Amino acid sequence: MARVGLTTERLVRAGAELADEVGFDQVTVSELARRFDVKVASLYSHLKNSQDLKTKIALLALEELADRAADALAGRAGKDALAAFANVYRDYAREHPGRYAAAQTRLDPATAAASAGVRHAQMTRAILRGYDLTEPDQTHAVRLLGSVFHGYVSLEMGGGFSHSAPDTQETWSRILEALDALLRHWPAP
Amino acid sequence: MARVGLTTERLVRAGAELADEVGFDQVTVSELARRFDVKVASLYSHLKNSQDLKTKIALLALEELADRAADALAGRAGKDALAAFANVYRDYAREHPGRYAAAQTRLDPATAAASAGVRHAQMTRAILRGYDLTEPDQTHAVRLLGSVFHGYVSLEMGGGFSHSAPDTQETWSRILEALDALLRHWPAP
DNA sequence: CTGATTTGCCTAAAGGTGTTAGGTAAATGC
DNA sequence: GCATTTACCTAACACCTTTAGGCAAATCAG
């Protein structure tokens, strides 16, 4: 009965990899057990249940994303910061589709408040400091940016833009330019 | 052994209602059977399998959404059309969260091509005729609008904007104004 | 180093979902 | 009124989730 050395940490990391390979909603405690060559029930010493696993994968993804975004923002401002930030999301989603999907799962308010999600909101606000917006327009703009980034990435990954000219990279660049222009000339109500 | 009168049609409609009540990914063949007071296996005469049910719910949602959008667009142009179209999405998602989620599921290319999804793209292009965009900018704009609408609605429904001032209705209006302004002054590359 | 304790992984079992194969009775058609 | 079709059923299997209780490996006390 050799011990494998399971920990919540290792399980969550493996779960994240599994998500990237087979899709977040195909992540299953059983498959995870199989990968560690261990019986399913053994995982329940480290995880409360299946939902717990998924939540922890989501939190991991949010952390990784926030870390990357913070890195990308360092030393940048204005359109430069905007593009760097946006590209972090898009690149992360492409590299880690399962983790990205995980990051979109609805968390209960308490968990969300303690997650890296708040860093994301702060960083978006930081970017907007490079533009001339005051409250409440800044909040409107935060929400717009979140919508565009999330919406674009999820449509692109879902194949919504597939196989049609012009290519999506071109569209992405033009959208970032358009957003920059919009933020520089944000219309009065 | 009284016959209940199951048809694929009725099952899909009931599935859509079930989705709105309990969430699209909680839609299960078993629960559907329970609602018709029928054994699970009986559904397999009308549905290929569970995935087939979900796909058909998605197609139904896409149709309904396209019908509403077409209605809303009739007789409108410019910003008026833009707002009406956008509101159809937002309202539909609020009234029918399960169906809306269904409408986001990835369809295989053949199914997608035969779905009401193409009408959505056509209507978006129709709206853009009210602005002065030529290809390929029109395509970029189609993608931007899709991203914003989908992104905003899914973030709002996921609770991403919850409990923070200003309220989301205000943001939504301002975003529509901003998009209108952006489309009227679409930046050159 | 030995014995006690903790703890990691196991077996067993129960309940839920998905799916297929084959039967019976109700509806339909000649 | 009989033959055929078809709607729904029972039975069975496979897989996932979760809990309860057991044994042996790791850890710790002395």
Task: Say if the Cβ atoms of B187 and A177 lie within 8 Å.
Answer: yes
End-to-end Cα, chain B, rounded Å: 69
Q: What is the DSSP letter of A159?
A: T
The residue that minimises its CA distance to C1' of D23 is A1
Note the pLDDT of residue B51: 96
**Residue B69 forms part of a structural domain:** yes
Contact of B22 with B80, CB cutoff 8 Å = no
**Cα–Cα–Cα angle for A60, A40, A48, nearest 5°?**
45
**Å separating the CA of residue A1 from the C1' of nucleotide D27:** 17
The 10s digit of each residue's pLDDT in B25-71 is 999 999 999 999 999 999 999 999 999 999 999 999 999 999 999 99
Interface test with chain A among B115, B174, B182, by most A beta carbons within 10 Å: B174
Measure CB to CB from residue B171 to each of A112, A143, A160 and give the nearest one. Answer: A143
Q: What confidence tier does A1 reach under pLDDT thresholds 50, 70, 90?
A: low
**Residue A40 forms part of a structural domain:** no
End-to-end Cα, chain A, rounded Å: 69
Contact of A74 with A88, CB cutoff 8 Å = no
Mean pLDDT calculated for residue range B101-118: 93
The residue to which tokens 């995980």 are assigned:
A102
**Residue A67 forms part of a structural domain:** yes
Name the nucleotide with the smallest C1'–CA separation from B45.
D7
Measure CB to CB from residue A178 to each of B166, B171, B182 and give the nearest one. Answer: B182
Count the helix, strand and coil residues of chain A and give each as a percent rounded to the nearest 5: 70, 0, 30
Nearest residue of chain A to residue B157 (CA atoms): A106
Distance of CA B123 to the CA centre of its chain: 13
Q: In this structure, what are the phi and psi dihedrals at residue B65, rounded to the nearest 5 degrees?
A: -65, -45
**Considering only CA atoms, which of A153, A137, A64 is closest in space to residue B178?**
A137
The range of the structural domain enclosing residue A157 comes to: 61-184
d(CA B62, CA B48): 20
The 10s digit of each residue's pLDDT in A88-116 is 999 999 999 999 999 999 999 999 999 99
Q: What confidence tier does B1 reach under pLDDT thresholds 50, 70, 90?
A: low
**Residue A6 forms part of a structural domain:** no
Interface test with chain B among A128, A131, A150, by most B beta carbons within 10 Å: A150
Note the pLDDT of residue A79: 96
B50 CB neighbours strand C below 7 A: yes
**Residue A74 forms part of a structural domain:** yes
Q: Which CATH number goes with the domain that contains A96?
A: 1.10.357.10
Cα radius of gyration (chain A): 19
The per-type count for chain B, helices as H runs and strands as E runs, is 9, 0
Q: Output the CA–CA distances (angstroms, integers) from residue B8 to A64, A149, A171, B2, B5, in the order listed.
A: 44, 38, 40, 18, 10
Handedness of CA A98, A103, A106, A112 (dihedral sign): positive
The 10s digit of each residue's pLDDT in A17-58 is 999 999 999 999 999 999 999 999 999 999 999 999 999 999
**Residue B150 forms part of a structural domain:** yes
Residues 30-49 of A with CB under 7 A from strand C: 38-39, 41-42, 45-46
Q: Identify all chain B residues contacting A109, using CB atoms and an 8 Å cutoff.
A: 159, 162-163
**Residue B151 forms part of a structural domain:** yes
Note the pLDDT of residue B161: 82
- Report whether pLDDT(A164) > 80: no
**Å separating the CA of residue A135 from the C1' of nucleotide D26:** 59
> In a 3-state reduction of DSSP, which class is residue A21?
helix
> In a 3-state reduction of DSSP, which class is residue A3?
coil
The helix (H) or strand (E) run that includes residue A97 is: helix A97-103
Q: Identify all chain A residues contacting B137, using CB atoms and an 8 Å cutoff.
A: 174
Residues in CB range of A104: below 8 A, 6 or more apart: A150, A154, B154, B158
**Residue B169 forms part of a structural domain:** yes
Task: Say if the Cβ atoms of A154 and B150 lie within 8 Å.
Answer: yes
Kindly state the tokens that stand for B152: 């905003």
Task: Say if the Cβ atoms of B148 and A144 lie within 8 Å.
Answer: yes
Arithmetic mean of pLDDT over chain B: 94
> In a 3-state reduction of DSSP, which class is residue A140?
helix
pLDDT over 70 for what percent of chain A?
98
Q: Identify all chain B residues contacting A148, using CB atoms and an 8 Å cutoff.
A: 144, 147-148, 151
The 10s digit of each residue's pLDDT in B112-156 is 999 999 999 999 999 999 999 998 999 999 999 999 999 999 999
Contact of A128 with A141, CB cutoff 8 Å = yes
The 10s digit of each residue's pLDDT in A129-160 is 999 999 899 999 999 999 999 999 999 998 87
Note the pLDDT of residue B96: 98
Q: Report how many domains make up chain B.
A: 1
Report the largest interatomic distance among the alpha carbons of chain A, rounded to a whole angstrom.
Answer: 70
